Structure 1
Amino acid sequence: MKPLQKIIPALGCFVVGLLVYFSVTLNELKPIYVEETYVPLRLMDHSNTFPVRNCGSNQTYVDFGSGDILSTEQKANVEKCFSSYMTDVKGAYKAEQKQRNVRYTSHSYLNQESVVVEAGGHRGIDTGEFNSRFHPGNYFVLEPVPSFYNLLVEKFKTSKNVVLFNFGIDSSDGTFHIQESSNDAVSIFAPRNETGETIQIIDTTKFFEKISVRNRDVDLITMNCEGCEYAVLDRLLTTDYIRHFRNIQFQPHRIDRICFPVRRYCWYQELLRKTHKLSFQFKFVWESWTKL
């Protein structure tokens, strides 16, 4: 019995070791994402300054890579950014874990006169952080999922400056279904369901008009909205709305049905520099830009 008693604990330690190894290995593999092949339009293929196209998932995107929207140098920068994705994102995940609060502390300019827009309120963690630290005068929070929206209503019922909207924003109006049992963040780019809770999405421009962006600049828009950041950035970068956002913060998501998320992120790096400069960046994970 004594040899067996020695073997069992040793075997247990071996199994635990294997679990830890595979857990670490899976975490290391988490950032892996394979993007479909992008083919730019020929000059004769489009007449619009900013062509809107469909990708394999039949979603739309603004094709900043075609024609002469980007210079030769910028296109080279995009290819370098795209090719370094795997290396950059792994390092960025680790760095962001150690400096997570920078997405709050870097916005110390906010005060009781500020206007803040948050796309993707979820459970109110970011809303609570910004509101308790800076008390912005007008804090607009968008959350399309009814269960999360109701949680936010209860959580911020005494915060008169927090205005909650039970819809999300994207490139166009639409309604989507999600599973009622979902306790995690929800993306409209996940495979479509025909049952469950209905969520509403409205065109980004309609929302900007609703809160009168052209009449009062937005001090900060922060986006953790499971994919809507691409549609919002497309809209900002193809209109004069970009001039009305002093700070733009976002977490880029890579979900299969989103058109070219890595390449589009790299396009944004070049285009945002025309009007804004980086405040902080964990490449492909979280970053913020401030107006020049």
Structure 2
Amino acid sequence: MKKTRSWRTFILLVMTTCLCFTIFVYLDLNMMHFLKDISPQTSAATDNVYSRMEYMDRDDPNESNVNTRRKYSKDLFLEKVLEYRLLLPLKGHLFNPVVRKVVEQLKKNDRIGKYVRIETIDEFAKSHLRPRDTTLSASDLKKVQNCKTTSKKDYLKSYKSLFEGNNGRSRCIRRTHHIYLNSTSFMIEVGGNWGWDAGNFSNLYNMNCIILEPLTPYTDILQRKFYGNEKISVYNIGLGSKNEVVMVNLEGINACATTKFSRKNGTVPIYIVNAIDFMTHLGIGVYDLDLLTLDCEGCEFEVLETLVKSNLIEKIRNIQWATHTQISISDPWGRYCRIQELLKRTHHPTYQYKFNWESWRRNGENIQCIDKVK
């Protein structure tokens, strides 16, 4: 009897192993076919890269190019993953359906030309990019230095006003401030986490929204939370100054303190896209973005520093961000002060709790919101 049970257990184990292996192979093959189907251009680019690698192997028998070949491989892998993550929210469409509706509405209202084609709007946006001068004058540098001198004091004062003022209700300003938003508005939230802010924004204003969240478990939560909402689209990426993959650790309640600047040996990969590349990918620059809001544990420095170097900053009507100075990032106080001086050239604050939370509006805009500067 015991032998019979042992044989049954053994057979069951073998069958289970075979089934798992079959499923793994099936999924792996399907993923490969999926990537090929959605990206014939990338396949061609891949062939070119591999051709260059083979050429190097052929012409240089030495191993001096090993590091170069590894770099090609890493770049190719990153390119593939980023392309997959940029295509996934399209749900089979050639362009993001949320942005497509925004563009069609703008065309209908004659706010962009009828000649603009959604299929090439990203190329059109990129063709209009121009660099901006980020040189600071002697007067600007003096203001930066004064800002740094009072930075710690300003941080503590603003922190108290924001989180203790008005019986704690002041902290809600990052959501309630933006009463200019409506059902035709378009915003991007960087750092969606589990969707608390995005849900409140949606309930208050019913606007169109792109949410970026680089942590896959929280992207899954966001997709379930907003399932069926055709005005919200979720991307499993973060924004920064360049395309890269970074290993991080999940930190804080609901991973809300997870940052790529932690300087610890991370175990979870997150994928970052250059801020200008992502926005022009959506066609921003051909049309205006109503609100960019950033709560991304330090990425605000890289994103803002990247945007102010380009005329794309002029196409963002409102920019809101949380400043994170208590992380392992190079000179956060000085970088904040420098960003502030550069941003003054195109925007002005509508509420400001320095080094905590604030929102800036494009100069010349005549829109309504709850103004409060601290």
When normalised by structure 2's length, the TM-score is 0.57
Correspondence for 2:154 among 64, 76, 88:
88
Distance 1:273 1:122 in 2: 29
Q: Could you tell me which amino acid in structure 2 is paired with residue 163 of structure 1?
A: S
Deviations 1:164-186 (A, max 9, x none): 00010111111122346863221
Deviations 1:100-157 (A, max 9, x none): 1211222101011111010000121110111110011x20100000111111111111
Aligned to 2:143: 77
Unaligned runs of 5+ in 2: 1-132, 364-374
Does the Cα contact within 8 Å between 1:227 and 1:255 map onto a contact in 2? no
Does the Cα contact within 8 Å between 2:249 and 2:264 map onto a contact in 1? no
When normalised by structure 1's length, the TM-score is 0.73
- How many aligned positions are there? 224
Q: Could you tell me which amino acid in structure 2 is paired with residue 169 of structure 1?
A: L
Does the Cα contact within 8 Å between 2:325 and 2:355 map onto a contact in 1? no
Q: Could you tell me which amino acid in structure 2 is paired with residue 215 of structure 1?
A: V
Q: Could you tell me which amino acid in structure 1 is paired with residue 259 of structure 2?
A: S
Change beyond 3 A, Cα 1:193–1:163: same
1:241, distance to aligned residue in structure 2 (A)? 0.6
Does the Cα contact within 8 Å between 2:275 and 2:307 map onto a contact in 1? no
Distance 2:224 2:188 in 1: 19
1:90-105 map, 5 Å = 90-97=156-163, 98=165, 99-105=170-176
1:257, distance to aligned residue in structure 2 (A)? 3.5
Distance 2:250 2:223 in 1: 18
Q: Could you tell me which amino acid in structure 1 is paired with residue 343 of structure 2?
A: L
Correspondence for 1:184 among 255, 259, 277:
255
Distance 2:179 2:266 in 1: 44
Does the Cα contact within 8 Å between 2:134 and 2:342 map onto a contact in 1? no
Higher strand fraction: Structure 1 or Structure 2?
A: 1
Correspondence for 1:286 among 332, 341, 357:
357
Distance 2:277 2:264 in 1: 24
Could you say what the CA RMSD is over the residues aligned between the two structures, in angstroms? 1.8
Change beyond 3 A, Cα 1:160–1:191: same
Higher helix fraction: Structure 1 or Structure 2?
A: 2
Aligned to 1:237: 308
1:256, distance to aligned residue in structure 2 (A)? 4.4
Distance 1:176 1:189 in 2: 9
The structure with the larger Rg is 2
Does the Cα contact within 8 Å between 1:249 and 1:287 map onto a contact in 2? yes
Aligned to 1:249: 320
Does the Cα contact within 8 Å between 1:176 and 1:193 map onto a contact in 2? no
Find runs of 4+ consecutive structure 1 residues off by over 4 angstroms: none
Change beyond 3 A, Cα 1:255–1:233: same
Distance 1:270 1:180 in 2: 33
Does the Cα contact within 8 Å between 2:320 and 2:359 map onto a contact in 1? yes
Distance 2:361 2:342 in 1: 13
Deviations 1:228-249 (A, max 9, x none): 1111111111001111100000
